[in-house]
């Protein structure tokens, strides 16, 4: 029988108006209200605000967590269940929630602190490269201090992160079809986040993690795991470590996964996975209309 993985997108997938159709459902509306009490601000208001405000790390990460976790709960309530879960950067928190590693409140409180720490990290630059020579890129990264591979999404799409001058140096020395500097506050998934990661470790230490009920493919280690201590350690390393999404994608067929459902706004992850594993069946659930039973899908 074909196995299914649910994957959860991270920062960059947010869109104005996301999750607003969920407010028509009583169970989802209650979850939005719970989130507002924890955060001290309205997720619904932020999701309906202008794109610049929604794209601020402080608001983006908690808002995506809330919307994606509600969609995951609605899928489960309709009898759906994944065999594996994975999430891209902050999406890993939703994956862990979906696997019952922690409850909704624990996850949101962790995301709130993570977002605050990352939002205040002002030193650094991130840039996406598309259509490049990987050997040339790896050589430049080895030769240039203070810049690392932050997101290894697929063979033709990566993100580098580090000190601005170092990132600029690599961009100047690597031929790419397209290079885009990202509008983020700091050098995420790089050693420049070490101070934030140390501070965040305190929050992780105080959070209760349980045995995962569904194997999790983690950003810093794509080998499926269910052990609570292992998953917590991987989550701490995630803030400074590379998002190894290309390896997660390759791991899926090796684990017998034939179907991948992206749970959340947009189609970023299914687009990335398609480049690496075109044989996988890819689906998207980003709204009430796309839930099984609403669109004729079972």
SS3 category, 24: helix
Residue 105: pLDDT band by 50, 70, 90 thresholds? very high
Angle, in degrees to the nearest 10, between helices 26-39 and 104-119:
50
pLDDT, position 75 = 97
From the list 88, 189, 249, 287, the catalytic residue is 189
Mean per-residue pLDDT for 133-137? 95
Does the pLDDT value for residue 95 go beyond 60? yes
From the list 13, 89, 249, 287, the catalytic residue is 89
Is 189 assigned a catalytic role? yes
Mean per-residue pLDDT for 20-47? 96
SS3 category, 189: coil
SS3 category, 268: helix
**CB of 245 closer than 8 Å to CB of 152:** yes
For residue 61 the two structure tokens come to 């990460």
| Ordered structural domains, the chain, with CATH | 3-120+190-290 (3.40.366.10), 125-181 (3.30.70.250)
Mean per-residue pLDDT for 83-93? 98
Residue 121: pLDDT band by 50, 70, 90 thresholds? confident
What gap in Å lies between CA 48 and CA 25, rounded to an integer? Answer: 18
Please tell me the pTM assigned to this model: 0.96
Is 13 assigned a catalytic role? no
pLDDT, position 197 = 93
Does the pLDDT value for residue 297 go beyond 50? no
Does the pLDDT value for residue 2 go beyond 80? yes
For residue 235 the two structure tokens come to 């989550």
**CB of 110 closer than 8 Å to CB of 100:** no
Does the pLDDT value for residue 122 go beyond 50? yes
What gap in Å lies between CA 216 and CA 214, rounded to an integer? Answer: 6
Q: SS3 string of 250-263?
A: HHHHHCCEEEEEEE
pLDDT, position 123 = 80
First vs last C-alpha separation in the chain: 16
Does the pLDDT value for residue 148 go beyond 90? yes
Q: Which of 244, 237, 196 is nearest to 217 (CA)?
A: 244
For residue 133 the two structure tokens come to 């020579």
Residue 16: pLDDT band by 50, 70, 90 thresholds? very high
CA distances from 69 to 35, 44, 129 (A): 11, 15, 30
Rg (CA), the chain: 18
Average pLDDT score over the chain:
95
CA dihedral 145, 146, 152, 157 (to 10 degrees): -80
Q: Which of 3, 7, 2 is nearest to 285 (CA)?
A: 7
């Amino acid at each position: 029988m074909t196995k299914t993985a649910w994957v959860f997108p991270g920062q960059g997938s947010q869109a104005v108006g996301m999750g607003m159709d969920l407010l028509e459902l009583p169970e989802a509306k209650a979850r939005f209200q719970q989130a507002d009490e924890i955060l001290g601000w309205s997720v619904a208001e932020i999701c309906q605000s202008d794109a610049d405000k929604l794209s601020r790390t402080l608001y983006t990460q908690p808002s995506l967590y809330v919307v994606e976790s509600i969609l995951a709960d609605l899928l489960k309530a309709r009898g759906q269940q994944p065999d594996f879960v994975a999430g891209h950067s902050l999406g890993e928190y939703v994956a862990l929630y979906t696997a019952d590693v922690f409850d909704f409140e624990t996850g949101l409180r962790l995301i709130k602190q993570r977002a605050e720490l990352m939002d205040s990290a002002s030193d650094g630059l991130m840039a996406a490269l598309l259509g490049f020579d990987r050997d040339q890129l790896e050589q430049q990264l080895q030769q240039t201090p203070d810049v690392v591979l932050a997101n290894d999404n697929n063979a033709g799409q990566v993100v580098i992160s580090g000190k601005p001058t170092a990132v600029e140096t690599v961009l100047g020395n690597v031929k790419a079809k397209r290079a885009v500097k990202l509008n983020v506050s700091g050098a995420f998934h790089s050693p420049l986040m070490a101070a934030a990661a140390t501070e965040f470790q305190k929050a992780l230490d105080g959070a209760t993690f349980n045995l995962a009920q569904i194997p999790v493919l983690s950003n810093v280690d794509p080998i499926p795991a269910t052990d609570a201590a292992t998953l917590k350690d991987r989550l701490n390393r995630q803030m400074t470590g590379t998002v190894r999404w290309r390896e997660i994608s390759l791991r899926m067929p090796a684990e017998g996964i034939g179907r991948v459902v992206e749970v959340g706004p947009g189609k970023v992850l299914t687009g990335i996975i398609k480049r690496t594993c075109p044989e996988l069946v890819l689906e998207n659930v980003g709204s009430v209309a796309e839930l099984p039973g609403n669109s004729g899908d079972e």
